[in-house]
Homo-oligomer: A and B are copies of this chain.
């Protein structure tokens, strides 16, 4: 119920003053519009809803997933999901005739259909090495579940520049690039210098010694000498995929 409607009813006498006060207290934020409107749009339109799987029991995940789907959600994305949870949820969801797929590399589970891409263009996910793949797949599957066409370019670390440059055309056709690397994290700068679209950099904890669990790559990416590069937390593939999808779905706002 909108504020204006509520006030009209108060004016008409169909809602008492006390009932109106109660209503305003109970849900002041939705009414006043401070809640993320995206939430409502998402639910209405069936775009993917996200569950952070870490620290939730298989049973909890399954219940939230089913509830969401029963309320019209067509795609449910579950991140940091254990194999055990995936097996449990898979059995339960399949029994209801719905699809469920699990990627053990990225620990991503997806219930329902992966939507058709409806973004402005492609999201390119590039990694420095093969060890960065779990983070990369978290980013890629997140972006796919949120309605993006994803192009994967893996193992193109800057120490073998020719491997990266042989993908120059794919990189330059991207709407947004997610650059994922551990160790010295130089990939973000090199890609940032090659492309003319936003680059989301994801440092990974890949490496040893002075890599200090991703700190080296993180600092490196924050200090990128290329313009148009911004950074998310170490190993945060989901955050990068989400941000990339947001950018890839931008549309002109009415002023």
Return the contact of A10 from the options B7, B196, B252 (Cβ within 8 A): B7
Return the contact of A223 from the options B195, B216, B238, B251 (Cβ within 8 A): B216
Return the contact of A219 from the options B122, B200, B215 (Cβ within 8 A): B215
Q: For the complex, is A184 an interface residue (Cβ under 8 Å from B)? A: yes
Q: For the complex, is A51 an interface residue (Cβ under 8 Å from B)? A: no
CA A216 – CA B233 in complex, angstroms?
12
Binary CB contact string for chain A from 206 to 224 against chain B (1 if under 8 A, 0 otherwise): 0111111111111111111
Q: Is the beta-carbon distance between B205 and A209 smaller than 8 angstroms? A: yes
Q: For the complex, is A11 an interface residue (Cβ under 8 Å from B)? A: yes
Please state the number of chain copies in the assembly. 8
A2 (CB) vs chain B CBs: closest residue: B21
Q: Is the beta-carbon distance between A34 and B168 smaller than 8 angstroms? A: yes
Q: Which of A34, A159, A230, A240 counts the most chain B CB atoms within 10 A? A: A230
A5 (CB) vs chain B CBs: closest residue: B17
A-to-B contact residues, CB < 8 Å? 3-4, 7-8, 10-11, 13, 16-17, 20-21, 24-25, 27-30, 32-38, 41, 50, 54-55, 120-122, 128-131, 157-162, 165-166, 168-169, 172-175, 182-186, 188-190, 192-198, 200, 203, 205, 207-236, 238-240, 242-243, 246-247, 250-253, 255
Residues in B with CB closer than 8 Å to A129 are 225
CA A160 – CA B233 in complex, angstroms?
19
CA A234 – CA B211 in complex, angstroms?
9
Q: Is the beta-carbon distance between A223 and B11 smaller than 8 angstroms? A: no
Q: Is the beta-carbon distance between A161 and B184 smaller than 8 angstroms? A: no
Residues in B with CB closer than 8 Å to A4 are 17, 21
| Cβ distance A74 to chain B, nearest Cβ, rounded Å | 19
| Cβ distance A3 to chain B, nearest Cβ, rounded Å | 6
